[in-house]
Structures are given as structure tokens and as C-alpha cells.
Structure 1
Amino acid sequence: MTTDAQRGQGAAAVPTEGTRGFYVYGILRSSGAVPGDLASVGDEETPVRTASHGDLAAAISEVHLNRPLGTRDDLLAHEHVLDAIAAETTVLPIRFGAVVNSVDAVVDELLAPNAESFEAVLSQLDGTIQFAVRGRYLDSAHIREIVAEDPAIRELRESLRGVSPDAGYDARLKLGEMVSNAVTEKRALDLQQLVDAVSGSVVATSERSVGGEDDAFDVAMLVERERREEFEASVDALGDQWSGRVQLRLVGPLAPYDFLPEE
């Protein structure tokens, strides 16, 4: 299913009266803690707090409505609050820009009518935390490997040395296609090696597309919270193994954007 939190239903309507409203970041359990001193959306002096309904709570902050939301600083504050909460407890992110009139509206229009679906998703995510692992090939190491490993690519590449662009046009197209296919395969193999290396602590993965020619992979990983140190150590060990070949970047902890249920 697509969760109400994912769509922002019940919290996306901007208040039409008054100069202040309440910005909603995400849903957590009422027993969960919101870290102090978080810079809030729109007004860094307004504290982030919770509004509770039974076992559920919404992370909120009061916000001025004298300007439209949507600046880069607003977006960064939204993400920072959610990621900081995720580092401590399970949180279900609400889409950016969700504002309601009052604390009562947070409870009556968001938490109460959606309690069952929120509880179901939080239960699925309990005990986990999201990280992203991004890999980048160094100095075109993957291309050198492909040329060394594939005789057909190597021979075609050598045959084009000194051939004019016009005369070798078709052959170069073929070479480009062969190399592109080989890069796709190598990325898949390297991603699988990463997945295998962290399998003991990861419960789910979500691959993202990569665009740069030197990008190896970009993958979101849902990690068992209690095995976070084991996960980080496994990524570090693989980074050492790939030293000079693939540069790994570990990002997180993050709110579990990539693992919200969908229809």
C-alpha cells in the first residue's frame, strides 16, 4: 500500500487563517524521543516537539506562514529533523511542506484517522535504520578492468587505433555498446559483493539509478539497529579491500524514505 504519511494526506493542507501553523515532519511512537536543539523548518528558534494520540505521536514545530515554504534551508531542516529522529527511534516521514492549523488538528486530522496504517508501517520498520552506500570508481578503474578481462573489447579497441573517426564510426559504436554492457554487468557484480558483505546486518536493500560514468552504485540499506556497528565495520572492510579501485561513501543514519510500503 501507499501510506497516508507517504502521500501526506491529512497534513498537506496549508492553513487559511492566522499567521502561524504547525509543520509536521513525521510519525513515531509516543514513547520515542525527539532530540533537543533541532533547527526547525522556517524558524530555527521554534522547538521541534511531539503531539500524541495513544501510542502514536507526530513530530511538529510551530511555523510562520508569512512566506511560502520551500527554500533550500527549509528542505535541509526537514531532512535533518527526520534523520536526527531516525538515529534514535523509528520514524515514518511525512512529505515536505505538510502544515496544519493547530495541535488539535494534528491529532484529529492526521493521527486519529490514520492510526491503524501508521501503526502497521511503524511495526514493519521497528528495529531498523536506513543508510545509503555510494560507490565511485577511481581513475576509471572499471574501464581498465573491462579492457583487461574481455578479449573482444580489447581487440576491437586496439584495431581502432589510428583509424579516422569516419572510417571507424560503426566499429566505435559497437565498441561503445560493448563497453556500456560490460560496465552495467560490473556494477551489478560489485553491488552484489557489497550486499553479500553486509548481509548479516541488512534486512532489505533498494537500488537507486546512477548517472555518472564513474559511479559504481547507489543503494539504500535497511539495517538492523542493534547491528549497526557490524554493518559499518563490514562497509569499512570492503572499502579497504577496494582501496584505489572503488571509493565508498556511507551516508546515514537516515529516515527510511526508501522502505515505505507502496501499492
Structure 2
Amino acid sequence: MSLYLYGIIGQTEAIDFGPIGFKGGKVISLPAGEIAAVVGPPPAEIFAKLHKEILIAFLLAHQKTLEQVMKKNFVLPFKFGTILKNESEMIEILKEGRKPLIDLMESIKERTEIDVIATWEVTRMLQEISEEDPEVLVLKKEMAKGNADPVLIGMCLAKALKKRAEGWQKKIKEKLKGHSVACADHDLLNDTMILNSSFLIHHDKEREFNRALEATDSDFQNKLRFKCVGPLPPYSFATVTIKRFDPEEIRRSAKILGLNGKAELTFVKKVYKELSRQCHPDMDPNLSVQKFEELNRAYELIFDYCKDKPRFLSREAVEGSVRLESAIPQGGLSDAA
């Protein structure tokens, strides 16, 4: 029976968290040594085929489950939508990934994520800029004389608005970064949003961070609206994913490289080096550029497939091959100065 994987906790015994999963599904922990997987029944729906609004509802349910688990256990979250074939596959993944998972949990277990969003009223900001910005004021005077194009004023306003947004975003982050371990930026969803960032903080620094946010809010004199969400599992800093490989793509790539049986990294590099010499267009103008590009793509896939350990190339072996990968911000999770 397939399992939906929410995350990993440091626990040696099974725990029944109750009906907190998708649509009231029962969520439990399945231990494997010092760590345990937090799992539940997967939803019947196929995420890839859902409309955005419905998919967001499932994502929020996923996060809500993790937040419930987090009330009593530090949880290392897995990527939304991670589904395992059965309990045996889950146990195998935990055993194989035991050390990196434990190391990652140790590096962030005393930390939590707080998400901060800052928005403004665009109309109000444009009005302020039109009354304060020197370049806009000059253009307005010229337009009154009939010497300036209104379109030019609009472009100038947009430029000044963007500059203000970037400047204010920088100020906010400078004030908050001193109270956090790391910061991760997310896409701005619309013109009213100037900041959409996640901050990783020590558990015992949460009040200090909130005070800094309140002081920042006061500094902007109600020109911004701040929304703070947390504490949360460290979604933006240490989400773990499971990578699978397509057996047919591996078969085609192995054929291009002339590989059989097993892919071992040192040998794969040696084969690629020799083949790249033979079919590189710079060696012979008559050689196909397309063939060389196919060789590169094949090498990149097989390299990725066997970079952690030698792997067999049979369909059955590829279908059973999974790898844990964790997303950690550039620069790591070392304490901020």
C-alpha cells in the first residue's frame, strides 16, 4: 500500500498522531533506528492533474499536518507530494539515508522558520512619489507647459516605485537578518507585495525576532502592512526530496554510452571522455553537433544516476532506485554574524 511521506522526526517508537492527514486520514510515525517517517494515506487525487486552487488547498493541508506534528516533535519536512510505493520502500530509504538525514536534522533541530510578507497600497505610494520625487516633479512641470509626454511620467513613476520597493525590502531584511540564522527569498506574487521572505531563527530567539519585526513596522509609519506566519517547519531551508529515474531514459542513455549491466562513476567518466573525443565537432567539421549534444545529455543523466554509488541499469533496478536530496540555501546554515 502506498504511503504519503510528510517528514522525518527523531523517534525510535511508533506514534499515532490521529486523523490529521488529508481528508482526516490517520497519520503515524514508522521508526527505522533513531529516526521515523511521518506518513499517512495519500489522497486519491493526482496532484499533477489538479487545478491550481485545489492544489493549493492540498498544499495547505500538507503544511497543517506538519505543524500539528511539530507541536511535540521537531520535523524535517519532505517535499509536498512525496508518495512511496509501500512501507518496505520507506524503510529502505530511511536506512540508506540515515546518516545524512540525522546530520541535517542535527544542524537545524533547534531552529524554526518564520515567514514575513510586507505589502503596500500602490496608489498611495504612487501619490507620494508624484509629490516627492525630483525627476517626477520636473516632468510634471514640463507637462503643465505642454512639453512632456504623460507616458514618460508614467514610466518615471514606475521606475521610482520599483526603486522604492527594492530599497525598502533591503532595509527590512537588514533589520531582521541580525536576529536570524538564514534568509530565503520567494517570488513576489503581485504589485502590492514588496517582501516575501522566510527567516530561520533559533527557538529561543523567536520573541527577539518578533520585537525586531514590530520595531521595523513602526519605522515605516504604517506605510506597510506586515504579515508574519510561524513558527513553521523549515520548509524553505531543509526540505528533503526523493528523486526517481525513468527506466527508458536510463536505457537510451546507457546505449549511447555503450554501457551494460552496471554504471560506476569512474568508468562512466572514462567512457565519456573517450567518446567525446571521437565525436566532438571541433575534431572533425563533418561530425554531427546533434550527436555530440545527445552524448552530453546521456552522460549527464547517467552521471546523476550513479554519482552516489554504482547502480545497475536493468529496468527493475532503475525502477527501484531512489535518492534522497535536500535543499539547503547557498552558504549553508551557519549562524549569522
TM-score normalised by structure 2 residue count: 0.60
Aligned twin of 1:30: 11
> How large is the Cα RMSD of the aligned pairs?
3.1
Alpha-carbon displacement from aligned partner over 1:113-157 (angstroms, at most 9, x marks no partner): 122332233233232111111111136343234334421112213
Change (3 A) 1:52 1:32: closer
More off after superposition, 55-64 vs 126-135: 55-64
C-alpha distance in structure 1 between counterparts of 2:117 and 2:233, whole Å: 17
- What is the correspondence of 1:83-98 to structure 2 with a 5 Å cutoff? 83-86=67-70, 88-98=72-82
**1:249 shift after superposition:** 0.7
Structure (1 or 2) with the larger CA radius of gyration: 2
Aligned to 1:160: 143
Match of 2:40 among 53, 61, 76: 61
Number of equivalences: 234
- String of CA shifts for 1:224-255, please: whole Å, max 9, x gaps: 21111111222123223434311111122223
Distance 1:22 1:162, change over 3 A: farther
The aligned counterpart of 2:192 is 214
Say whether 1:261 aligns with 2:320.
no
Q: Deviations over 1:20-41 (max 9, x none)?
A: 4321111232279989455202
> For the structure 1 residues 33 and 233, does the alpha-carbon distance in structure 2 shift closer, same or farther, using more than 3 Å as the test?
farther
Asked if the contact 2:9–2:35 (Cα under 8 Å) also holds between the matched residues in 1, the reply is yes
| Residue in structure 1 matching 2:58, options 62, 74, 77 | 74
Equivalence for 1:199: 177
Which residue in the other structure is 1:133 paired with? 116
Counterpart for residue 15 of structure 1: none
Q: Secondary structure at 1:201's aligned position in 2? A: coil
What does residue 30 of structure 2 align with? 51
Identity between Structure 1 and Structure 2 (%): 18
What TM-score do the two structures reach when normalised by structure 1?
0.74
Show structure 1 runs of 5+ residues with no match. Answer: 1-19
Which secondary structure state, in structure 1, belongs to the residue aligned with residue 8 of structure 2? Answer: strand
Partner Cα separation in structure 1 for residue 159 and residue 171 of structure 2: 19
What CA distance in whole angstroms lies between the structure 1 residues aligned with 2:163 and 2:119?
Answer: 15
Pick the structure with more helix per residue.
Answer: 2
Deviation at 1:62, TM superposition (A): 3.4
Change in 2 beyond 3 A, CA 1:61/1:199: same
Q: Within 1, Cα distance between the matches of 2:206 and 2:145?
A: 53
Q: Is the 8 A contact 1:30 1:55 kept in 2?
A: yes
SS at match of 2:26: coil
